[in-house]
Structure 1
Amino acid sequence: MGWIGTTLDALVSEISPEAGRRRALARSAAKLAMNYDAASRGRRAAGWKAPATDADAAAFGVRARLRQLSRDMVRNRPYAARAREVVTSNVVGTGIVPSVVHESAEVQAQIWAVLSEHLLTPALDARGELDLYAMQEVVIGTVFTDGEVLARRRIRRGKYARDLPLGFQVELLEADHLDDTVTSWGKNEVIEGVEYSPIGDIEAYHIFDEHPGSARMRGLKLTSRRVPWQDVLHIRRFDRPGQLRGVPWLAPVMMTMGEISDYQEAQILKQKMAALLAAVVTYDKDSGVDPSKRLKGLEALEPGAVVGTPEGTAVNFTTPPKVDDYQPFMREALGAVAMGIGITRESLTGDLSGVNFSSGRMGRMEMDRNVERWQRMVIMQFCMGVERWMRESWAMQRVLPTEIIRLNHTPPRRPLIDPNDEIDAFLKQIEGGVNSRQNVQRTLGLDPERIRRERAEDAQKDGDAKLAPTGASNLPTARENRAKANPEGTVT
Structure 2
Amino acid sequence: MVNILDKAIAAVSPIAGYRRATARAALSILNNGTGYGNYGASHTSRAMRSWHVGGGSSKEDIEDNLDTLRKRSRDAYMGIPLAAGALKTLRTNVVGSGLVPTPQVDADYLHLTEEQADQLQAQITREFNLWADSTACDASGMDNFWRMQTLAFTSFLMNGDAFAAVQYRERPNWPYALQLRLIEADQVCSPGRSDRLAPCKVGGEDVFQIVQGVETNEAGEIIAYWVANRHPLEYDNPVPLAWNRVEAHDPATGAPNILCITQRERAGQRRGVPILAPVLPTLKQMGRYTEAELAAAIVSSSATLFIQRDAETNQAPFGEEPQDKAADPNTPPDELAINLGPAAVFDLAPGEKANLIDPKHPTTTYDGFMSAMSNQVATGIEVPSEVLYKKFSSNYSASRGSLNEFWRTCGVMRDSFADDFCQPTYEKWFAEAVARGRINAPGFFDDPAIAKAYTGCIWNGPARTNLDAKKEIEAAILRMDKGISTAEQETAQMTGGSWRANMRQRKSEMEKIKEVGCDGQTQFQDDPEDDK
Into which bin does the TM-score normalised by the smaller protein fall? Answer: 0.7 to 0.9
1:320 aligns with 2:359: yes
1:463 deviates by: 6.8
Instruction: Identify the match of residue 130 of structure 1 among 124, 143, 166.
Output: 143
Q: Residues 119, 278 of structure 1: CA spacing in aligned structure 2 closer, same or farther, 3 A cutoff?
A: closer
Counterpart for residue 246 of structure 1: 272
Counterpart for residue 268 of structure 1: 294
How far apart in 2 are the matches of 1:491 and 1:395?
Answer: 57
How far apart in 1 are the matches of 2:315 and 2:372?
Answer: 48
Deviates more, 1:416-425 or 1:457-466: 457-466
SS at match of 2:141: coil
Instruction: Identify the match of residue 220 of structure 1 among 237, 240, 255.
Output: 240
1:153 and 1:232 in contact (8 A); partners too:
yes
1:117 and 1:165 in contact (8 A); partners too:
no
Where does 1:66-465 land on structure 2 (aligned, <5 Å)? 66-102=69-105, 103=114, 104=116, 105-156=118-169, 160-181=170-191, 183=196, 184=200, 185=202, 186-188=205-207, 189-214=209-234, 217-218=237-238, 220-229=240-249, 230-277=256-303, 293=311, 317=356, 319-322=358-361, 323-352=363-392, 354-403=393-442, 404=451, 405-406=454-455, 407-444=457-494, 445-458=496-509
SS at match of 1:95: coil
1:61 deviates by: 2.0
SS at match of 1:217: coil
Q: Residues 350, 454 of structure 1: CA spacing in aligned structure 2 closer, same or farther, 3 A cutoff?
A: closer
1:221 deviates by: 3.4
1:193 deviates by: 0.8
1:373 deviates by: 0.9
Q: Residues 333, 25 of structure 1: CA spacing in aligned structure 2 closer, same or farther, 3 A cutoff?
A: closer
Instruction: Identify the match of residue 61 of structure 2 among 58, 63, 70.
Output: 58
1:248 deviates by: 0.8
Q: Residues 276, 486 of structure 1: CA spacing in aligned structure 2 closer, same or farther, 3 A cutoff?
A: closer
1:269 deviates by: 2.9
TM-score (norm 2): 0.73
Deviates more, 1:112-121 or 1:388-397: 388-397
Aligned length: 447
1:155 deviates by: 1.9
Question: Cα deviations across residues 277-311 of structure 1 (Å, max 9, x unaligned)?
Answer: 467899xxxxxxxx9639999977999xxxxxxxx
Task: Output the amino acid matched with 1:380.
Answer: D
1:263 deviates by: 1.1
SS at match of 1:378: helix
Q: Residues 243, 37 of structure 1: CA spacing in aligned structure 2 closer, same or farther, 3 A cutoff?
A: closer
Task: Output the amino acid matched with 2:146.
Answer: Y
TM-score (norm 1): 0.79
How far apart in 2 are the matches of 1:295 and 1:336?
Answer: 60
Q: Residues 366, 400 of structure 1: CA spacing in aligned structure 2 closer, same or farther, 3 A cutoff?
A: closer
1:72 deviates by: 1.3
How far apart in 2 are the matches of 1:213 and 1:37?
Answer: 41
1:125 and 1:131 in contact (8 A); partners too:
yes
Gaps of at least 5 residues in structure 1 are: 12-21, 283-290, 304-311
SS at match of 2:47: helix
Q: Residues 65, 380 of structure 1: CA spacing in aligned structure 2 closer, same or farther, 3 A cutoff?
A: same
Counterpart for residue 332 of structure 2: none
Aligned-pair Cα RMSD in Å: 3.8
Deviates more, 1:51-60 or 1:224-233: 51-60
1:209 and 1:225 in contact (8 A); partners too:
no
How far apart in 1 are the matches of 2:211 and 2:353?
Answer: 75
2:33 and 2:42 in contact (8 A); partners too:
no
1:99 and 1:449 in contact (8 A); partners too:
no
Question: Cα deviations across residues 439-458 of structure 1 (Å, max 9, x unaligned)?
Answer: 21221212133123324444
1:233 and 1:382 in contact (8 A); partners too:
yes
How far apart in 2 are the matches of 1:443 and 1:49?
Answer: 47
1:179 and 1:224 in contact (8 A); partners too:
no
How far apart in 2 are the matches of 1:462 and 1:271?
Answer: 62
SS at match of 1:142: helix
2:222 and 2:248 in contact (8 A); partners too:
no
How far apart in 1 are the matches of 2:38 and 2:131?
Answer: 62
Task: Output the amino acid matched with 2:206.
Answer: K
1:277 and 1:318 in contact (8 A); partners too:
yes
SS at match of 1:265: helix
SS at match of 1:164: coil
Question: Cα deviations across residues 417-463 of structure 1 (Å, max 9, x unaligned)?
Answer: 10001101111111122222222122121213312332444455567
1:388 deviates by: 2.1
Task: Output the amino acid matched with 1:450.
Answer: A
1:207 deviates by: 1.1
Q: Residues 47, 211 of structure 1: CA spacing in aligned structure 2 closer, same or farther, 3 A cutoff?
A: farther
How far apart in 2 are the matches of 1:454 and 1:386?
Answer: 28
Q: Residues 357, 212 of structure 1: CA spacing in aligned structure 2 closer, same or farther, 3 A cutoff?
A: same
1:42 deviates by: 5.1
1:382 deviates by: 0.8
Task: Output the amino acid matched with 2:488.
Answer: Q
Gaps of at least 5 residues in structure 2 are: 10-24, 106-113, 250-255, 321-341, 343-350, 443-450
SS at match of 1:61: helix
**Identical aligned residues as a percent:** 22
1:129 deviates by: 1.3
Q: Residues 376, 295 of structure 1: CA spacing in aligned structure 2 closer, same or farther, 3 A cutoff?
A: farther
Question: Cα deviations across residues 72-125 of structure 1 (Å, max 9, x unaligned)?
Answer: 111122222111111100101122111333442433333333221112221211
Deviates more, 1:234-243 or 1:440-449: 234-243
How far apart in 2 are the matches of 1:441 and 1:350?
Answer: 24
Q: Residues 298, 128 of structure 1: CA spacing in aligned structure 2 closer, same or farther, 3 A cutoff?
A: closer
